[in-house]
Amino acid sequence: MNGTGHDVISTCKDLTENADAYLQGELGWFGRAQVRLHLWMCSHCRRYMDQLAATIAALQAMPAAEGPGLAEHVRDELMTSFRSLRTPAIDPDGPPDSEPS
Ligand SMILES: [Zn+2]
């Protein structure tokens, strides 16, 4: 995300990078329109978005008893692992499969 608000979301990789912003209402109309268009065309990303939405919903449903700081931390960690696991991207420049730890 580079924050211009007018990023072009055309590939699966772009979509996964913007998926959480989309789900949390952080994208502008232009981004949202592109995400919707991509989801309409791409079943991989529809599935990804479903799972991400479920993850976010679960996180938001967590009781805040342990403090917002922790929730934020947990969320970030989950999002990071979720991304690395679930990226459906057709991504020729993707990270190597065998990364130690
Ligand atoms: Zn896609």
State pLDDT tens for residues 60-86: 887 765 555 666 777 787 778 777 765
45 Cα: distance to centroid of ligand 1 (angstroms)? 4
Q: Which residues, by Cβ under 5 Å, contact ligand 1, an ion?
A: 12, 42, 44-45
Q: What is the pLDDT of residue 32?
A: 94
13 Cα: distance to centroid of ligand 1 (angstroms)? 7
CA–CA separation, 20 and 13 (whole Å): 13
Contact 12, 88 (CB under 8 A): yes
50 Cα: distance to centroid of ligand 1 (angstroms)? 13
Taking the model in full, what pTM does it have?
A: 0.57
Contact 18, 89 (CB under 8 A): no
| Mean pLDDT, residues 19-23 | 92
| Mean pLDDT, residues 11-35 | 93
